[in-house]
Chains A and B, each alone.
Chain A
Amino acid sequence: MSTSDRSTAAGTLRGGAGEERIAAAFADAAGSAALMPYLMGGYPDVETSRRLARAYVDGGADLVELGVPYSDPLADGPVIHAAGTAALDAGVTVDDVLRIGERLAVDVPVALMVYANLVMRPGFERFVGRLRDAGLSGLIVPDLPIGEESAEVVAACDAAGIAFVPLIAPTTSDERAAEVAAEARGFLYAVSVTGTTGERSALAEQFSDVVARAKAHATVPVGLGFGIATGEHAAQAAAAGADGVIVGSRLVRAAGEPDPVAAVAAVMADLSAGLGR
């Protein structure tokens, strides 16, 4: 029931102000799809991370997915895992990342990508309250599948005006895809590959299948991520029907280069070109 009335007016969005801002970002995106870069908060260090956030905005980011370093990132491949470990070793905390997000949220909507234990530790409501206070718009928890595990967090997000963004994967059945999509606020995160985050070479065939399944059930935009690294991939994702393109490992790899700002800017330019901007 709520799925159908959601589209009638912005005022009824379950994800509140956060969801409204994300919806506007998709609506206003230039080119063939929204560009949604992932930033590992605090990598390689807090200061550089701030400058990289700036480079994302200057490079045309419509929404930034802000990652929180975690000790046991089960959904992440080697590049993001190593970056998170480096940030943790440098003493980066959740608060540091939220401060980066707060600054970034002045310019673009920010969705925090964070593992479940970090959300649970202070308590769901308190954690989500901190997101709201920092001006963030969305929450993505890769190890909190839709079901009884996620119910409390989703409720806390709704109460705080934060859009809860669930994921669907290539392995997700049609029946379950409907269930997951019905819980999506802001956008539905479609995982493009059966695997962890990381750059892949050939992807195009897999894109259409998972995007089609996501689009069949979603009443919110669909963002496609995991493995997208180049302008060519981005173009294929948009052609497959994705409303947004999420790029993680490629940008995190660039963040580790000797001149990270220049490296990140170059990747952003390539992605923008792929999206016809």
Chain B
Amino acid sequence: MSSTPRTPPSPETGIERRYGPYGGRYVPETLIPALDELEQAWTVLRTDAVFQAELQQLSHDYAGRPTPLYLARRISEQVGRQVYLKREDLLHSGAHKINNALGQCLIARHMGKQRVIAETGAGQHGVATATAAALLNLDCTVYMGTEDMRRQGPNVQRMRLLGATVAPVESGRRTLKEATSEAIRAWVAEVADTHYVLGTAGGPAPYPALVRDLQRVIGDEAREQVLAAAGRLPDRVVACVGGGSNAIGLFAGFLDDPSVGLLGVEAGGHGLDSGEHGAVLTTGLPGGILHGAMSPVMQDENGQILEAHSVSAGLDYPGVGPQHAWLRDSGRATYVAVEDDDAVRAFRELSRLEGIIPALESSHALHHVLHVPAPEVDVEVVCLSGRGDKDLAHALEQLERLEGDQALAVTPRHPRGGARQAAPADPDAAGTSDAAEAQ
């Protein structure tokens, strides 16, 4: 059977507007010409040798591509299979977001736009856009909910330092959903000279295709690297899903390899039954319209959009990109959820196992890999979408809430005196036993 769903590209452009029933352009009329213009620009630039060479050179010399694929030794040992980490956390500005931001800011320049705007949740996309805008000499305004400004303080300062204006958004729960709505409203007013650098694989067409194209470097590199390192394709690839850009970037490299499972990990928040989460795919929600796309969305019985909840600002979003919805419906990809507390513990666990402090977003994927048995998997690739410096204060606060002021207490790994301790040295190890045993 052909297990890879592919909507045929739209005949005029070569960029999909729909993925099965999902996608489309549900925006005010004012924006339609700008979306047409962007679609036309990308249709040309995605195969334009000069543009691609410029993007590749910047990705290489400036952003730090290719990123390593690291065989995580102690994780692999603990779970009894080969776990490779795709190190997007090592990119300049600290997350995969720079892949998209650099690409879109270059496109903006090609379209003759002097200004860019962006929305941000965790602040990583805002920082990435501010970074690319500084590099390419574009004016930059980033919309950010005030709750996220609180959770991600250092990133606010980074954006300002980079010369961007951070526009605080006070509506709703003051998080990513509202920041995105506000950025779209601002774009409606400023569309003549402004490009909107949308930060995830969602929004109106052509953004889901454009962002995927710019992020697929993650999957394309990883595929080559894992073939070289392991001599075979992985059994699955795993990534966290907020709007879905790092996940679709990773998945894109393996879509045509039917033996490779695609696993997206969503925010389970306080638990799927609590209603306070961001797991729109896992919970099987049907399509609705948010931020210009038809795709699964959290909404009430009247159709009012609900707020999501996640401990990580980057996954705190009630919608998801349309291609993921189609990958779910067609059975090509699977989606699961990981709760706040588990993600916070995985944040500490990776730090202590591998000496890598992961973003809280990526920690969701890591928890699943570390603690949910996968007997059918021998080799896998996990996207480490970003680094965790931005999350330090917030994650430590959460850990203390869970475990009191002993949250960062250290138990010696190699107790003096010879006798091996029976108890696990690491508090996280308590939860890992079933995963290890399953192997």
A120 to B299, CA, bound (A): 12
A72 contacts B303, CB within 8 Å?
Answer: no
Q: Does A206 contact B (CB under 8 A)?
A: no
Q: Give the contact stretch, choosing among A26-34, A144-152, A247-255.
A: A144-152
Q: Does A81 contact B (CB under 8 A)?
A: yes
A136 to B25, CA, bound (A): 27
Q: Does A118 contact B (CB under 8 A)?
A: yes
| Chain A 174-204 per-residue mask, 1 if CB under 8 angstroms from chain B, else 0 | 0010001000000000010011100000000
Q: Does B290 contact A (CB under 8 A)?
A: yes
A194 to B30, CA, bound (A): 7
Q: In the complex, which of the residues A72, A88, A122 contacts B181, with contact meaning CB atoms closer than 8 Å?
A: A72
A176 contacts B302, CB within 8 Å?
Answer: no
A196-B188 contact, Cβ under 8 Å, with A72-B305, A117-B290, A118-B303: yes
A75 to B32, CA, bound (A): 13
Contacts of B305 in A (CB 8 A): 71-72, 117
Q: Does B412 contact A (CB under 8 A)?
A: no
Q: Which of A94, A115, A149 has the most CB of B within 10 A?
A: A149
| Chain B 230-271 per-residue mask, 1 if CB under 8 angstroms from chain A, else 0 | 000000000000000000000000000000000000000000
Q: Which residue of A lies closest to B305 (CB)?
A: A71
Q: Does A256 contact B (CB under 8 A)?
A: no
Majority secondary structure of chain A interface residues (helix, strand, loop or mixed): loop
A166 to B30, CA, bound (A): 12
Majority secondary structure of chain B interface residues (helix, strand, loop or mixed): mixed
Interface residue total, chain B, C-beta cutoff 8 A: 36
A118-B302 contact, Cβ under 8 Å, with A143-B289, A172-B33: yes
Contacts of B150 in A (CB 8 A): none
Q: Does A56 contact B (CB under 8 A)?
A: no
| CB within 8 Å of B: which A63-77 residues | 70-77
Q: Does B172 contact A (CB under 8 A)?
A: yes
- Give the number of residue pairs across the A-B interface with Cβ within 8 Å: 114
A121 contacts B189, CB within 8 Å?
Answer: no
B27 contacts A145, CB within 8 Å?
Answer: yes
A168 to B32, CA, bound (A): 10
Q: Which residue of B lies closest to A193 (CB)?
A: B189
Q: In the complex, which of the residues B26, B192, B290, B297 contacts A194, with contact meaning CB atoms closer than 8 Å?
A: B192
B192 contacts A176, CB within 8 Å?
Answer: no
Q: Which residue of B lies closest to A122 (CB)?
A: B303
Q: In the complex, which of the residues B29, B289, B304 contacts A191, with contact meaning CB atoms closer than 8 Å?
A: B29
Beyond the given A72-B290, A74-B184, A118-B302, please list 10 additional residue pairs across the A-B interface where CB-CB is below 8 A.
Answer: A74-B291, A75-B30, A81-B171, A85-B172, A88-B304, A117-B305, A122-B303, A143-B27, A176-B33, A194-B30
On B, residues with C-beta under 8 Å from A are 24-34, 171-172, 177, 181, 184-185, 188-189, 191-192, 287-292, 294, 297, 299, 301-306
13 of the cross-chain contacts (CB-CB < 8 Å) are A72-B177, A72-B290, A75-B28, A117-B288, A118-B302, A118-B303, A145-B25, A145-B29, A171-B29, A171-B30, A171-B191, A172-B33, A180-B29
